[in-house]
Amino acid sequence: MYRELTLDFRLTVVSKHPERLSQIRYLLADSGLGLDNDITLFVEAWSGTRLVGCAGLAANVIKCVAVDEQLRGANLSARLLAEVENAALACGHFHLFLCTRPCNKERFGRSGFWPIAQSGNSAVLMENTPQGITRYCRSLHALRQEGERIGAIVMNANPFTSGHRHLVEQAAAQCDWLHLFVVREDASFFPFAARLQMVQAGVAHLPNVTVHEGSQYIISRATFPAYFLKESGKVQQAWSEIDVMIFRDHIAPALGITHRFIGSEPFCDITRQYNQTLHSLLASHIEVVEMPRIKASGNAISASEVRRLLKTEQFSRIREIVPESTYAHLNAHYRARAEVA
């Protein structure tokens, strides 16, 4: 039966043919899957007039792989993966990731994907090379510094505030060396290049700090695949656990990290849950140091407040809660007219 099956593989660019998503949604729903809204193209498998398989691509992340129930066992998922990998290569993406249910790990393993980290029975992150995470850690090891207390901070810095600077200064004072990672994905108000520039300028006075460009092994929750997890709580927990385990098992050993510094989180439930995951999964491996946020005008300083003030050009208030280097960047790039002295 399967040998006689003739399949037609088609490539759909979502922005050009959004009307084709309706059939894809139905196929995904039959497999208990949703549709992540950052997918830019789909590979579709058609048998005559029937859509029988699909695989999506969001940058270099493969998502939403589904096969018609009647064709499972026909090796169609492997053919879909091969087709979507070819599409990714044509777009210049050679290093690919996918996140799926752990029950699919062996199936995707047979198609050339290796597991990196797993969150219980909820999710497993895989990549299309057995050496990807090893190569990344080798590059980190070249930046390793000697010392008994080696710290790490991971931040989005959207933008870099006086609260961020305080956290970095306090951590650097407690460590022989501090590694500061800036989340790389452009899924924030400020693009990565701008955030990195603001962080570098804001910590330039600290001699024992290395600022790292974040990698895809430091996962942004904004880009974490969620199509196979229906409950938002499970999505956030899976993202948190996979991100923390990659840090614990790979990044920290490469750099000899002994301490992870975080700021307390009075505003965001998701970040507060992430902090709890850090405490839980790093226990007995790395000491987690949680510092209270500093305040301005009685309120804890937050990047979200800076973004709010920026929208209404309240630069005098912004100046009170960001370093001078960040203020100079915001003033130069976001002020509608030059400030009158």
326 confidence band (pLDDT: 50, 70, 90): very high
CATH number at residue 43: 3.40.630.30
What is the model's pLDDT at position 240?
94
| Residues 91-105 pLDDT 10s | 999 999 999 999 999
Q: Are residues 187 and 241 in the same domain?
A: yes
Tokens of 273: 């849950």
Give, for 174, the enclosing helix (H) or strand (E).
helix 162-174
User: Taking 60 as the threshold, does the pLDDT of residue 85 lie above it?
Assistant: yes
Q: Are 217 and 136 a contacting pair, CB within 8 Å? A: yes
Q: Are both 156 and 84 inside the same structural domain?
A: no
- Same-domain check for residues 260 and 144: yes
- Secondary structure, 3-state, 19-32: HHHHHHHHHHHHCC
> Residue 134's Cα: distance from chain center in Å?
19
Please state the rounded mean pLDDT for residues 230-246: 90
Q: Tell me, yes or no, whether 170 and 55 share the same domain.
A: no
The CATH code of the domain that includes 256 is 3.40.50.620
Residue 209 and residue 86 share a domain:
no
Radius of gyration for the chain, computed over Cα atoms and rounded to the nearest angstrom? 23
Q: Is the pLDDT of residue 8 over 90?
A: yes
> What pLDDT score was predicted for residue 142?
97
Percentage, residues of the chain above pLDDT 70:
96
| Residue at 341 is within a domain | no
Q: Which structural domain range is residue 256 located in?
A: 135-334
| Between residues 290 and 6, the one the model is more confident about | 290
Q: What is the pLDDT of residues 66-79, one digit of tens each?
A: 999 888 776 889 99
Q: Residue 123: inside a domain, yes or no?
A: no
159 upstream amide cis, omega within 30 of 0: yes
pLDDT at 225: 86
Q: Looking at the predicted structure, is the pLDDT value of residue 1 above 60?
A: no
Q: Is 156 in the same domain as 244?
A: yes
Is the domain of 78 the same as that of 194? Answer: no
Task: Give the mean model confidence (pLDDT) for residues 42-56.
Answer: 95
Number of domains in the chain: 2
Statement: residue 322 has pLDDT above 90: yes
Over 70: is that where the pLDDT of 15 sits?
yes
